[in-house]
Amino acid sequence: MASSKAVAVVTGSSSGIGHETALTLARNGFVTYATMRNPSKAAEIQSIASKESLPIVVKQLDVTKDESVRNAIQQIVSEAGRIDVVVNNAGYGLTGAFEDLSIDEIKAQYETNFFGVIRVTQAVLPTMRKQRSGKIVNISSGAGRLGYPGGSAYVSTKFALEGLSESMSYELEPFGIRVVLVEPGVIRTNFSSGMVLAKKAQDPNSPYSQMMQRMGATLQQLEQNGSDVDLVASIVLKAATNANPELRYLAGKDVENWVEAKRKMSDSEFINSMKQNMG
């Protein structure tokens, strides 16, 4: 049955930012489709939805598979009659010095973090154009604004997402569709534990081994002072409910400071600062 309420679709809802965002949207009146590659991980969000009587529907959706995306979006449109907000959140971090990354590892990173966004967005656009309304909220990162050692694969997917989103915003605004980038800093989630360390980077004889060890220690320290995941969810809600949202929203004091420093400094000054901060 078509929904009379606004409908949201969130990818990667089994944990972290996606999990909290799906709950936040549902708590604020959105009929929320919490999508995930593996629905067996839906027990927690389903339990919370049941206890709080939240309008959450779990759907299987693997952003790396054309058919999975197409089927899921078709089912949602058939059931709800509309899609008002899409939150492209599914993603993971591949870490390792560039020389230690295999081409297959890099391709897999892009399939989820970048091409996954493309698949889902292209699948929902016909519905949003027909409605002449909608919001596409892409979860980028502070890493979409600046690079760091050991993050070339992950960072480059976020830089690509930034360019894609900014370009799309021009094309879609005439149809009443707004594009939003949410750029979190370091967030206390299970993201780091879900990071994939490149195979060659696991070799203690890698010429980059000491650098990666220092980066790992730095990341652990940053996470201790990271922002709560509900900060990102609240910013997504703000963008989703704003008739005229900004193109970019920073999420976290750390990323605000980094972006401001990069704006004020020369490239060489900023790189030297990053070297000191990253150990």
Q: Please list the active-site residues.
A: 14, 140, 154, 158
**Spatial separation of the C-alpha atoms in residues 18 and 33, rounded to whole Å:** 11
Lookup result for tokens 């309008």: 55
Q: Count CA within 13 A, CB hemisphere, residue 276.
A: 6
Q: How many angstroms separate the first and last alpha carbons of the chain?
A: 56
Within 8 A by CB and 6+ apart from 243, the residues are: none
Q: Which helix (H) or strand (E) holds 178?
A: strand 177-184
Query: In terms of Cα–Cα distance, which of 108, 95, 82 is closest to 5?
Result: 82
CA torsion sign, 35 to 36 to 38 to 39? Answer: negative
Question: DSSP alpha helices (H): ranges in 114-252?
Answer: 115-131, 152-172, 209-224, 229-241
Q: What is the 3-state secondary structure (H, E, C) of 239-251?
A: HHHCCCCCCEEEE
Strand ranges of the sheet holding 85-88, from the earlier edge strand across to the other edge: 56-60, 31-36, 7-10, 85-88, 134-139, 177-184, 248-251
Identify the three-state secondary structure at position 208.
coil
**Spatial separation of the C-alpha atoms in residues 204 and 143, rounded to whole Å:** 26
